[in-house]
Structure 1
Amino acid sequence: MHTLLLIPLFIGNLRGWEWLIIFLAILLLFGGRKIPELMRGLGKGIHSFRKGMQEAKEELNKPLDSDEQAKAPGAAASDEPRGKDRD
């Protein structure tokens, strides 16, 4: 549990040389052709996450008129008499 709390602190302390070494290690592991695909996938993931967050925010900020609209058709249907004889 304590190590999970230290991860953001560790990432925040990385400077230029550390990032360069990490980038070179990734380059060696995945190769030059795979990195653009990985970054593209990461970008799409971030984009879809932000889109989902925006949709959730809009849904939460939407007025509660949908409850009133849902009750309105039921009220109109109850105004009609049910016991009419058909000719």
Structure 2
Amino acid sequence: MGSFSIWHWIIVLVIILLLFGKNKIPGLMGDMAKGITAFKKGLKDEEASPSQPAKPIDQNTASSPVSDKDRSADKN
């Protein structure tokens, strides 16, 4: 269970080529590169336009959730 030899890697590569074919792998790598590029562009756009900070909640106007049971007890 040690490290893999060169023969292990060659067998794995041959199996991958048999499963996906030699024409499918470059297409998959191109799609992966497009995804990485889009991800990096999204990160740059996010850094360029920072979101507005959250506004603090005013304790005087904030209401706490009250159940129907509590409301009926207040009326009696």
Place the TM-score, normalised by the shorter chain, in its bin. Answer: 0.3 to 0.5
RCO comparison, higher one (Cα < 8 Å, 6+): 1
Q: TM-score, normalised by structure 1?
A: 0.42
